[in-house]
Amino acid sequence: MTTIGYVFLDVNRDNLIPLEKQRQSLENYAQKLDLSCDELLVEQSFASVVPLSERIEGRRMLQNVQRGDTILVMQARWVLGTPQNALSLIGVLKEKEVSLFCADLDGNISMPTKRKLQATQGIATLVYQLCEALSYRERGNHGAAIRAGKARLKQEGKYLGGPVPFGWMVGEDGRLKQDLKQQELISEMIRLKADRWSYRDIASKMQKKQGLKLSHEGIRRIILKNSNPVQEER
């Protein structure tokens, strides 16, 4: 069983705690747990929002830990990141039966702990439930933000995505504007239909004359969408 101390030096230098101070803190915490650090990993090229599994030292640590190993970290936020990342990490560690002790929470947040020969959930369940709740709220807020953004774009007349209708193009301002060449083709389709051409014949003519590969059903939809009722009844 190996005890690993994980030192995190935030690349953004947000509340950066020096390496030596973290090392000493982890050694003191290990002693409190009747453990000793067998290995010290120093992560210094990533921000805390990057999942632990996507960092250099973090990925190596998660790949190499074995059942019964212990990871020590000074602050939980350095390894948990977002609620969704936290749930994923805790799930991986629980499956591997690896303990993650966070000094600032003073407890094992991935596995039940043994106290006085009795197993107790300690803070592990509490942390998991908290992350789950925050993750749910985060997803809800994200959805609300997307809906609000789409509503704002629609109000501004901006294109919201999806297939661009034939005869139109997306301008530099994000709004749909007419594609003059395609609008001319639409006008020709409507004229041919008014002369009682079938949709199949129009599709064939468009392909031979303009190189436009559209099915007769595609031609029908374009004409119906761009014709007024009087033209379509003829």
pLDDT tens profile 160-182: 666 788 888 888 777 788 899 99
Which has more confidence, 115 or 149? 149
pLDDT score, position 210 = 83
Q: End-to-end alpha-carbon separation of the chain, Å?
A: 84
The burial class, CB within 10 Å (0-12 / 13-18 / 19+), for 6 is buried
The answer, yes or no, to whether residue 186 has pLDDT greater than 60, is yes
Q: What is the pTM of this model?
A: 0.53
What DSSP state is assigned to residue 53? G
Q: Which of 52-66, 75-89, 101-115, 218-232 has the lowest mean pLDDT?
A: 218-232
Nearest by Cα to 66 from 100, 97, 34: 97
Q: Residue 9: which residues within 8 A CB-CB, separation 6 or more?
A: 16, 19, 42, 43, 44
In whole angstroms, what is the distance from residue 133 CA to residue 151 CA?
27
In whole angstroms, what is the distance from residue 43 CA to residue 48 CA?
10
In whole angstroms, what is the distance from residue 76 CA to residue 109 CA?
9
- Tell me which amino acid residue 26 is: L
Nearest by Cα to 74 from 45, 40, 50, 97: 40
pLDDT score, position 70 = 95
pLDDT score, position 132 = 61
pLDDT in tens, 139-160: 555 455 555 556 666 666 666 6
Structure confidence at residue 120 as a pLDDT band (50, 70, 90): very low
pLDDT in tens, 28-67: 999 998 999 999 999 988 888 889 999 999 999 999 999 9
Nearest by Cα to 140 from 80, 88, 81, 84: 84
